[in-house]
Amino acid sequence: MTRWAPGAAERLQEAALELFATHGFEQTTATDIAQSVGLTERTFYRHFSDKREVLFHNQHLFTQAFLAGVEAAPPDASPIEIVACALRSATSFFPDERRHHSRTRQSVIDQNPALQERERHKLATLAEAVAGALRARGVDEPAATLAAESGVTVFKIAFVQWLREDEQRSLAALAEDMLRELLALTRDQA
């Protein structure tokens, strides 16, 4: 299975995003989405549990990329080095050719409190999964949770920056910068 296979699910996702962005999330029905690409509502519900899920369908792949990075880090890596590795893996999920798509998606989410809630929930779940993966590598608490939360924070801030209209840098470069900023911030303290 390739990541962006142009099957029914992906056609429905692209169409949904287009309709959400043009007509608004609330105003678009599952039937509207299905019909716009010549499919039935039934096909829609074979792929997605609800309308919100269209926007979060790839989230588990993103989580997998994040966790794969945790696992790929060298055995002697420190918690922060593991997080850096996880960020490299996670950001590779968003090459520059996805930037336009991601911008559109985010503008839909930013206009709807229920979607923002789903997004916050997914990020909280991601942080918990990353902390679990760090513990599985032998990192103790609270270091595992602190490192995981810091990694997700860095990703979140880098992602917002990546989506800015005037931003040219890659998400990978931005995440690396943000992590470096975080380390600079906390260095030489207390």
Nearest approach, Cβ of residue 158 and a copy of itself (Å)? 9
Distance of CA 104 to the CA centre of its chain: 14
The C-alpha R_g of the chain, in whole angstroms, comes to: 18
* Smaller CB separation from a copy of itself, 110 or 117: 117
CB of 150 to a copy of itself, least distance (A): 7
Q: Report the nearest approach of a copy of itself to the CB of residue 138 (Å).
A: 15
DSSP string, the chain: --TT--SHHHHHHHHHHHHHHHH-TTT--HHHHHHHTT--HHHHHHH-SSTTHHHHTTHHHHHHHHHHHHHHS-TT--HHHHHHHHHHHHHTTS-GGGHHHHHHHHHHHHT-HHHHHHHHHHHHHHHHHHHHHHHHTTPPTTHHHHHHHHHHHHHHHHHHHHHSTT--S-HHHHHHHHHHHHHHHHTT--
**What is the smallest separation between the CB atom of 120 and a copy of itself, expressed in angstroms?**
5
Interface positions with a copy of itself (CB under 8 A):
78-81, 84, 117, 120-121, 124, 142-143, 145-147, 149-150, 153-154, 156-157, 161, 178-183, 185-187, 189-190
Which CB, 19 or 70, lies closer to a copy of itself? 70
* Residue (100 or 164) nearer to a copy of itself, CB: 164
In the complex, the smallest distance separating the C-beta of residue 142 from a copy of itself, rounded to whole angstroms, is: 5
101 vs 118 by CB, closer to a copy of itself: 118
The residue type found at 187 is R
Name the residue nearer to a copy of itself (CB basis): 39 or 154. 154
